[in-house]
């Protein structure tokens, strides 16, 4: 999608501080971190949100979720972490490209907000 900022980051047209990447997903540091470690994981394929995901996206989403533990270990999140995906206006999704926030290195409060 030509106007999607995350697609532009995934394509290398906008620079980002990359924490992990492979041919299917990209993980980069958030520009406005809410924890000492705050990265975003995105599929390279444009999927607007979890609500827009389809059966054909199952392998891609499974791959992304299974990479979380590897990325968390690389980032030193040995005491735990939180994985969040905002969906839609009430969920405060601000970029219409499926992404997961991986946060850690501090005690995270509940409820989140």
Catalytic site positions: 99
Provide the b/e sequence for 79-109 (b: ≥16 CB within 10 Å): eebbeeebeeeeeebeebbbbbbbbbbeeee
């Amino acid at each position: 999608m030509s106007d999607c900022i995350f697609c532009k980051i995934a394509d290398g047209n906008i620079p980002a501080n990359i924490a992990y990447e492979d041919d299917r997903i990209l993980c980069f540091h958030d520009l406005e971190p809410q924890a000492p470690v705050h990265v975003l994981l995105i599929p390279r394929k444009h999927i607007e949100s979890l609500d827009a995901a389809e059966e054909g996206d199952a392998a891609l989403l499974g791959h992304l979720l299974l990479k979380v533990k590897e990325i968390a270990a690389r980032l030193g999140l040995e005491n735990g972490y939180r994985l969040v995906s905002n969906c839609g206006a009430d969920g405060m999704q601000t970029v219409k490209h499926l992404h997961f926030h991986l946060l850690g290195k501090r005690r995270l409060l509940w409820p989140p907000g």
